[in-house]
Structure 1
Amino acid sequence: MKKTCFMKNFVCIICTAFLIFTTVSCGKSKLKNGTYTASVYGNNDYINVQTVFSAGKIASVKVLQHSETRFIGDFAIDTISKDIVDYQTVNADTVSGATVTSAALKAAVQQCITDAGGDISAFNKPVPPKGTKKDTVTVEKADIIVVGSGGAGLSAAVTAAEGGASVIVIEKMPVIGGNTIRCASAFNTADPELQKLLPMTDTLKKAVLKAINEKPVHTAHAQLIKDVKAKYDLYISSGTSTLFDCPEWHALQTFNGGDKVADVALIRKYTENTLDTLHWMESLGMPVRKKVSQGAGALWQRTHQMDSPAGTGIIGPLYEAAVKMNIPIITNMRADKLIVENDRITGVHAVDKFGSEYTYMASKAVILATGGYANNKEMRQKSNPGLTPDMVSTNQPGTTGDGIVMALEIGAGTTGMNYVQTYPLATPRTGTLQGRARKMSGLDNVINVNKEGKRFVNEDARRDAFVAAIKKQTDGMCYDINDSSIVEVKNSFNENVETLVALGRIYKADTLAALEEQLKMPEGSLQKTVSEYNRMVAAKTDPEFGRKLFANPIEKPPFYATPRAPSIHHTMGGLTINTDAQVLDTSGKVIKGLYAAGEVTGGIHGSNRLGGNATADVLTFGRIAAKAVLKN
């Protein structure tokens, strides 16, 4: 048995060859028959690949073990494994949206070829086209055409089908899930049942009092303040000591957190329906951890966490419901034009990956759920010149603003297009959300320190304030610091924490002094910072930065530090909609037959989205759109 190891750019390849039989010539190589294995680090963990060679050919490729994200990584694995065998090439097409997984799988097979004595160049021909362009336009019909298969699109499709409508979902990417499948699955909603387990501190009371005593900016804001005050007065008179929350308070924080420029009516519609959406998703099988926390930039302890990797616990139940209801989901189908007949949207024109044309006709409506424009560098820079082309993003590559472009062509209005959010705690250089030690997305038991080992920000602040503070630190980055009490074998993205430690993406030590040394911080700096923080936890007050959120002290070894840096995350601007999710034109009139939900819309989050509000938004407004179509 022979073993070879390579370590570069977080990729470790361990190969074992066995069952070596005869030697067969293959081009310039002498490929040995037998079974070989290789292990390459993919997106979430090592992908263990078994390759069998027989008669000078690749007889089979089998992935023995992987932790790649469902609907993304497993699709790439299945597709590429088959292509490698069918076409005898490692030059199989990369699956868009799963580039890391695709590259890892192909690298593992290449290593097996090398270990078997083969020549990679003999297995490097391109995969031929798997289809051709049709000369005719294919026409498909349904009551509702949904464009996009993320959380908004699938929640709309399933809700519409539950109401008896026929639905077709089209998706331009080869995989479903949109941004939702990649998210941290944080879902904000007022939830009396779970929030009764949390205390209401004096600091939190001050936050409520400050908000309800502000001077309103307009009548809708004034009424919202009045409604929150009425609920808060009842809460105080009840004598309870548990956390105060209600849809009105969630709405007021969303409005204030977005700099008071969002549409209060849209926000109210959102917060009044989030708990119902959560319960509906649970009825479909969405696994929700029975603990409420506060996500980064959430401002309040109302963040629910899915007990599944990334957003699979959201997309999985929706997809399974769609399959049971026989809802067609057509991937690799890019919608590029809305069809208008008699001043009404009656369908969409689309093109598949071979250039064949399709028209999807809707007897009731088209629902746009195409996501935002974080990866449309021209659009985002035009909207916000400060977003330079070199800036990385947490988003999937399909977020290029397609729905906005199509709707603009038929006279739709937009709002807040200059509001683009940067997430504070992403992975440096790559911009992904992954790579952290803690299981939960909440910051209840976490502090953030700079390279000097010092706290520099209120960790429960708004995301834009958090980002601004990080950018002022050395190298524009920081570290999540937490103890082992919130660490499990795998984090919320299905990554093995110990593997991340071994790869140098997370730092771990049995003492704070040792962690400090690993991070090359000034001696005693991190120890002093954590000691000061632990005293704040006991006192429930932060005299330096005004942190409101205190759960447990950081004291249980081992201790962890995760490098974090800002990354473009969410585009708050988009199509103008009303509370029924109907798209409005530039004069504010309803465009008949056109609805929109999710990040393709604007007006809900203002200039700054609260952490945990997006997942609840896309699922809730997807349902609102479908129900409105059925009603109208």
Structure 2
Amino acid sequence: MPTTPFIFLASVLVALLALTLLKSPEIYWKLSMDPVIVVGGGLSGLSAAHSVLEHGGKVVLLDKKPALGGNSVKASSGINGAGTESQTRLNISDSPQNFYDDTLKSAGSEHARPNLITALTSNSAPAIEWLINNFGVDLSLVSMLGGHSTPRTHRGTGGAPGWAITSALMKRLAAEEAKSEKRANILKSAKVVKLLQTGDKVTGVEYEDGQGQKVKLAGSVVIATGGFGADFSPAGLIATHRADLMQLPTVNGDHATGDGHVLVTSLPSRSGVLIDMNQVQVHPTGFIDPAQPDAKTKFLAAEALRGVGGLLLKNDGSRFVDEMEKRDLVTAKMWEVIQNGQGPVRLVLGVQAATELKSHCDFYLSKGLMKKFANLQELAESMEVSLTDLHATFTSHKSYASGQEKDPFGKTHFHNSDINIEEPFLVALITPVVHYTMGGVLVDEQAHVLDASGKPIPGLYASGEVIGGVHGKNRLGGSSLLEAVVFGRIAGEMAARSQ
């Protein structure tokens, strides 16, 4: 039996240890749990990291580039949400079910996965409110993009929504890292080269730091590395799954090389699987920079430009498609025009449309991607078409918008269609570009990475463009940022709860 003095001394030591832990959250934090490791510093990885913190965990976020943001910072049309406060304020009637129906139709029956679409659409309004309330992001404006049955794509009054959203999350995570609790750690220029696995469970990562040194970290892992839209290497993912796209330009940053796809499928024990890898979205409107017309990487002409009333014209000044159709259909029509020698295709905006997206257009003008014409006469002369024929295009479009005539291409949503031919026009040359990869890692609605039998791999989650199956054969505009936030939040919560 221990003596009374020994019991007293032991009690004192325990009390001192407890006091030390309470005074040093970092010590307690390190002793209590491993971190959740988030691989990828775009919007999905950032959303996962914040979700981990909100659910009491600690997080280490790694990105192979010197700066965070990924492709998310370039997203320029907005983020979808159904049943939001912004929609209610603007008297827009919408619901998650309507959004589900639009997404299901866009995805196609062969590729649609209802559980993932439900997760995306049912969590859309909470995602919007999370960004507004937790990070102060302005998402007060709502517009309608192609393939949607009602306006539900949110953006603010400032610049590109992708930058506004992603930068807000970056700043907040940097602030969390600076706190004394040290619950967040950001590692840049840190490329994850291997997932660590003990038995069936993923237990951490191995990464290379900026000096080429390999370092191991222990913890559950969220893969948020983005897509493979810039992987044009001879044996890469595009060459393997869509060799017909190898000659196309891309709007993806050079980081989008499918790193997460390779990591997940290279696990030594139970590995993940890839689905729908041949489903690559070719966006109809990438800018042709007159200074670099053959550049492999191009700027995206935001779908919002068509949403506010931009028209697509052949070289003779006539329209050829419903500008508000789904992206895959608009792209197919553009290919027909180009292959029939009726290009280049021009995107044309009147004053009202350009004013509604002034910050976007000012940026495009500053980059030389758009050109301003004083009036329709000047544009007609530049295109070498008659003013009468070009004027007829806009007059007919106005007639379709008023309901006097039916649009021959089936267009039903019109915006800023009342064009004054004596006012300025903004014009850009455009071409189809590799934009988004719908295929990727197989997950369930809780962001668990699944193996070939459909069972979750313990300790491994994925979110954002790296996952497959959410969008089927075609992604709706405004759903990339949404997918990043929704599945990032889910993955972060699930990973934090698993620790």
Match of 1:262 in 2: 112
Q: Which residue in 2 is equivalent to 1:482?
A: 349
CA pair 185-328 structure 1, distance change in 2 beyond 3 A: farther
- State the distance in 1 between where 2:92 and 2:165 align: 27
Partner of 1:349: 206
User: What amino acid is aligned across from residue 279 of structure 2 in structure 1?
Assistant: Y
Distance 1:250 1:572, change over 3 A: same
Structure 2 residue runs without a partner (length 5+): 1-32, 178-183
Distance in 1 (alpha carbons) for counterparts of 2:315 and 2:495: 53
Residues 392 and 459 of structure 1, relative CA distance in 2, 3 Å threshold: same
Matches within 5 A, 1:136-151: 142-151=34-43
Aligned to 1:208: none
- 2:169 corresponds in structure 1 to 318
CA distance in 2 between counterparts of 1:284 and 1:562 reads 37
Correspondent of 1:511 among 375, 379, 384: 375
Q: How does 1:298-447 map to 2 (within 5 A)?
A: 298=148, 300-310=150-160, 311-326=162-177, 327-362=184-219, 365-377=220-232, 378-388=236-246, 390-410=247-267, 411-428=271-288, 429=293, 430=295, 431-434=297-300, 440-441=304-305, 443-447=307-311
Q: Equivalents in 2 of 1:408, 1:166: separation in Å?
A: 26
Instruction: For residue 292 of structure 1, report the CA deviation from its aligned partner.
Output: 1.4
Distance 2:107 2:256 in 1: 22
Q: Which has the higher contact order (CA 8 A, sep 6+)?
A: 2
Residue 462 (structure 1) aligns with: 326
Cα deviation, 1:478-536, whole Å, max 9, x if unaligned, reads 22222112335985458446545xx4x32323322221112223442221100101111
Deviates more, 1:164-173 or 1:252-261: 252-261
The verdict on how the C-alpha distance between 1:313 and 1:512 changes in structure 2, with shifts beyond 3 A counting, is same
**Cα pair distance change 1:569/1:325, threshold 3 Å:** same
Aligned counterparts of 2:401 and 2:105: Cα–Cα separation in 1: 27
| Secondary structure of the corresponding residue to residue 159 of structure 1 | helix
Correspondence for 2:494: 628
Shift in alpha-carbon separation, 1:375–1:247, aligned structure 2, 3 A: same
For the structure 1 residues 359 and 441, does the alpha-carbon distance in structure 2 shift closer, same or farther, using more than 3 Å as the test?
farther
TM-score normalised to structure 2 length: 0.83
> Matched residues in 1 for 2:399 and 2:192: separation?
56
How far is the alpha carbon of 1:461 from its aligned partner? 0.8
Equivalent residues of 2:137, 2:168 under 8 A apart? no
Compared CA separation, residues 188 and 476, structure 1 to 2 (3 A) = farther
More displaced, 557-566 or 609-618?
A: 557-566
Residue number among 418, 438, 442 corresponding to 1:576 in the alignment: 442
> How far apart are 1:265 and its partner, in Å?
0.7
Aligned to 1:166: 58
Q: Is the 8 Å Cα contact of residues 297 and 610 (structure 1) preserved in structure 2?
A: yes
Aligned-pair CA distance for 1:464: 0.9
- 1:152 paired with 2:32, answer no
Contact 1:174 / 1:332 at 8 angstroms: preserved in 2? Answer: yes
Shift of the alpha carbon at 1:309? 3.3
DSSP-derived class of the 2:285 partner? strand
Q: 1:279 aligns with which of 126, 129, 145?
A: 129
Q: Residue 184 of structure 1: which of 76, 81, 89 is its match?
A: 76
Cα distance change of structure 1 residues 359 and 497 upon mapping to structure 2, 3 Å threshold: closer
Rounded Cα–Cα distance in structure 2 between residues aligned with 1:337 and 1:266:
27
DSSP 3-state at the match of 2:402: helix
Whole-Å separation in 1 of the counterparts to 2:371 and 2:384: 12
SS of 1:337 mapped into structure 2:
strand
Taking structure 1 as reference, are residues 490 and 465 closer, same or farther at Cα in structure 2, changes over 3 Å only? Answer: closer
Q: Is the 8 A contact 2:285 2:300 kept in 1?
A: no
Q: Cα distance 1:188–1:335, how it changes in 2: closer, same or farther (>3 A)?
A: same
Residue 609 (structure 1) aligns with? 475
User: For 1:343 and 1:582, how far apart are their aligned partners in 2?
Assistant: 14
Structure-1 separation of matches of 2:430 and 2:136: 29
SS at match of 2:307: coil
Deviates more, 1:511-520 or 1:614-623: 511-520
Q: Is the 8 A contact 1:146 1:167 kept in 2?
A: yes
Please list the CA deviations of residues 82-123 of structure 1 after superposition, one character each: whole Å capped at 9, or x if unmatched.
xxxxxxxxxxxxxxxxxxxxxxxxxxxxxxxxxxxxxxxxxx
Tell me if the contact between 1:284 and 1:318 (Cα under 8 Å) persists in the aligned partners. Answer: no
* Pairwise CA distance, 1:328: 1.7
Give the residue type in structure 2 aligned to 1:532.
S
| Structure with more of its chain in helix, by fraction | 2
Partner residue in 1 for 2:100: 251
TM-score by length of 1: 0.66
Within 5 Å, which residues of 2 pair with 1:493-532? 493=360, 495-496=362-363, 499=366, 503=368, 505-532=369-396
Alpha-carbon distance between aligned partners in 2 of 1:312 and 1:366, rounded to the nearest angstrom = 26
SS state at 1:275 partner: helix
Give, in angstroms, the shift of residue 469 of structure 1: 0.8
Contact 1:145-1:167 at 8 Å conserved across structures? yes
Kindly report which structure 2 residues correspond to 1:578-597, keeping only aligned pairs within 5 A, or say none. Answer: 578-597=444-463
CA RMSD of aligned residues (A): 2.3
Query: Retained in 1: the 8 A contact 2:84–2:128?
Result: no
Unaligned segments of structure 1, at least 5 residues: 1-140, 199-241
Q: Secondary structure at the match of 1:348?
A: strand
Q: Aligned AA for 2:349?
A: N
Label 1:493 to 1:509 Cα distance change in 2 as closer, same or farther (>3 A): closer
- Mapped to 2, the partners of 1:447 and 1:356 lie a distance apart of 52
How far is 1:191 from its partner? 3.3
Secondary structure at 1:626 match in 2: helix
Distance in 2 between residues matched to 1:507 and 1:567, nearest whole Å: 20
SS of aligned partner of 1:599: helix
Does the CA contact (< 8 Å) of 1:476 and 1:565 recur in 2? no
Structure 1 residue 553 and structure 2 residue 417: aligned? yes
Higher strand residue share: 1
Which one is further off, 338-347 or 297-306?
Answer: 297-306
Give the letter for the 2:78 counterpart: A
How far off its partner does 1:361 sit? Answer: 1.1
